[in-house]
Structures are given as structure tokens and as C-alpha cells.
A = this chain, B = another copy of it.
Amino acid sequence: MTKPGFSFDVEQRLESGLGRAGVIHTPHGDIQTPAFTPVGTKATVKAVLPETMRELGAQVILANAYHLYLQPGADIVDEAGGLAAFMGWHGPTITDSGGFQVLSLGVGFKKILAMDAKSVRSDDVIAAGKDRLAHVDDDGVTFKSHLDGSMHRFTPEVSMQVQHQIGADIMFAFDECTTLLNTREYQERSVARTQAWAERCVAEHVRQTAARSHRPYQALFAVVQGAQYEDLRRQSARDLAALDVDGFGIGGALEKDRLGTIVRWVCEELPDDRPRHLLGIGEVSDIFAAVENGADTFDCVAPSRNARNGTVYHPVKGFHLTNGGYRRDFNPIDDTCDCYTCTHYTRAYVHHLLKAKEMLASTLATIHNERYIVRLLDRIRASIVAGHFTDLRDDVLNRDR
């Protein structure tokens, strides 16, 4: 299969560790890696114009296939000329497969996914299971729309068809996302299922690419699963590496205190010449651990969601801007930040907007948080190129708690 417009170049590697600086070339432009991917779930980064995202340095936006499939419908995004044209974003885009959302929405699942296995009470697992809106079998997932309760079914083929209609530059193979709480036996079966689904995705991807040759090539990344088990993670990575895919995702349950270790297991098995995207990670310490161990790109809703809740990032310590103490604080959120918000507005003004429940509060806080993470990744990339990654890491992590 010809893949015009998509490729990956490694520019510089870390002396220790698997990390690297590189460039992902896509039909809609380049992504300098390592890079953070802001999330625009429903074809919009909440409260921020695409031009503003570009100005704050975002290189690529990730949208959710599940959400766009339900609303407005993948066919409408297709008719609009694809995701980038539909949302007015003149740059690369990514869609996830929908696998995570069909399994997790309406369930306590997401919370459990991020927990330490030891800290979860069995009550939580039972509570999570009760509310489950989805049923998984070897062929696919049947799920209930969180919007209107209607029943739908995603298979690897449907996910590929939907993602081809949405038209992002990078797509993910349909995978089963498990939690740290599934049994070892279930994880084994699930990894095998994700492998089988990835193979079906590749086959459907080849068909879709041939049928839609009028559209730019869309790259396919296969998603490594295996939860907290080293042998399963390595096996999953090795098996997926044998497929004709353009890159890899690292998905599923990641114990926070072993995140770097798990990324390392996977990246030691993956081919060195294809990009690796760590799904759903955005905390500063996690980003350093992931980059060091070989991840090239990341996406996370946290900068945007935190902003809407009034939590803003700061190099010493992030804080809740809704606290009364900021009522007459006429400093910028972060006086070392070059973002539009920090160079134009005071904490007092954004505090006022938050208290008054004005939409502009979300806009201004999101601009700051997204810029904060994007800029951190720019600095990380520069540190890899210049050969002082560990100095930057130690400097940032000693300040950012």
C-alpha cells in the first residue's frame, strides 16, 4: 500500500533511554516530536478557536470517533471534507478508535483505570460493572449511546469505516481497553482479541484506502495493551509490530508509579522507525517518564478540563483560581508564561470570570493550560536535541509537584 504524505524521521536520540526527537510528516503538515496533542473531543477544543490553538503552538488535535459518530455523524464530517476542514483546523488531526469510549462511558471505568490496583475497593468494581452500557464479544462491542440510549455496534471494520469518513491524518486500530482490575486470564484473552482486531483493522484500512483514493492518506496506528503485565505488554508490542501499520498507540491501564517502566517494556519491543503515541496521558511527571522511555506523542483532556474547573498550571505549583485570595491579585497566572492569557489578563480578572460563570473564563484558562503543556514539550524537544534532557527533567520535576 502506498502511503503518500505520511512518514516519520528520528532527528536525535537520548544517550540513555529510548526517547527521541523526531518529525511526523502528515498530509496536513508536520508534527515536531515529542509533542502534546490537545483533545477536541467533538471537533472543537472546548471554548477555544482553532486559530488560537495554532497561535499557542498546538501542532495537532485529537478528536473522538465515538462522539463524532453519534453527533453529528461521521458521514457529515466526511461531506464537510473531513475533520480538519469541518472544524477549521489547518493542521494534522488524530482520531481515537472509539474503543475506549464505547467501553467506558457511563461506567466508573475511567476512574478505576487511573487508580492504583491496591487502592481500589471491590465495591468500586461492582458499582462500575452495574452501570456498564456496553457488551464486548470477540467480534466487537455493542453499546448504548450516552446521548439518547440508542443501541449501536462497533467492530474493527466499523471503527475503520467511521475513522476513514472522519478523515483524520492518524487513526487508531479498534482495541479493547481493560482495567487494572481484570483478572490475568481476562487480560490474556483481551490482548489476543486486540491483536485479532488490529489485523482486521489493517485489512479494512487497506480496503478503505483503496476505495477513498481521492482523499489524503490516513495513517493507522495499532494499540498495545496488556495492562500491568510485562510479558503481555511485550507480547502485544511484538505481535502488533509485525503488522503493516504506520505507528503504535500505547493504551489501557497504566499504573501511575510504573508508567515509565511500562512504556519502556513496550518501546523496547516496537520498531524504532515508527512513531508511538501514549493515549490519555498529560501530567507533567508522566510526560517526562513517557518521553524518556520512548513515547513520541501524547493526548489528554486534563489541561482543558482542569482549566474549565478553574485549576491553572504553574511551574511551582498549579492552583485553584476560584479561591478568594485571587480576587484582587493583579499578577498574571504565571509571570514566566508567554501565553495570550498571561500577557493580557490578571488573576483577578479570570477569577472574576470564573465566579461570574462567564464562558470567557474557560477560554482564558484553557489557553494558559494548553500553552503550558505545549511549551513544556517544546522545551523537552529542544533539550533532547541539545543533549540536556535529564537536566531539564530534574529542574522541572523538582519545582512542579
Contact = CB atoms under 8 A, between A and B. Distances in A.
Interface of A: 42-44, 46-49, 67, 71-72, 76, 79-80, 86-88, 327-328, 330, 344-346, 348-349, 351-353, 355-356, 358-360, 362-363
A79 B43 CA distance: 40
Chain copies in complex:
2
B47 A360 contact: yes
Contacts of A49: 360, 363
B42 A356 contact: yes
A353 B44 contact: yes
B360 A76 contact: no
Nearest to A345: B88
Contacts of A362: 359
B42 A349 contact: no
Nearest to A81: B330
Contact of A87 (B86, B87, B349): B349
Given A43-B349, A72-B327, 6 more contacts: A42-B352, A42-B353, A46-B359, A76-B327, A76-B348, A359-B362
A273 to B, nearest CB: 37
A352 B71 contact: yes
B44 A355 contact: no
23 contacts: A42-B352, A42-B353, A42-B356, A42-B358, A43-B349, A44-B353, A44-B358, A44-B360, A46-B358, A46-B359, A46-B360, A47-B359, A47-B360, A49-B363, A67-B356, A72-B348, A72-B351, A72-B355, A80-B346, A80-B349, A86-B349, A88-B345, A363-B363
Given A44-B353, A44-B358, A88-B344, A330 B80 contact: yes
Contacts of A356: 42, 67, 71
A370 to B, nearest CB: 14
Q: Which of A72, A80, A346, A360 has the most CB of B within 10 A?
A: A360
A95 to B, nearest CB: 16
Nearest 3 A/B pairs, CB to CB: A72-B352, A47-B359, A44-B360
Contacts of A359: 46-47, 359, 362-363
Contacts of A48: 360
B71 A355 contact: yes
A124 to B, nearest CB: 29
Contacts of A345: 88
Contacts of A352: 42-43, 71-72, 76
A12 to B, nearest CB: 37
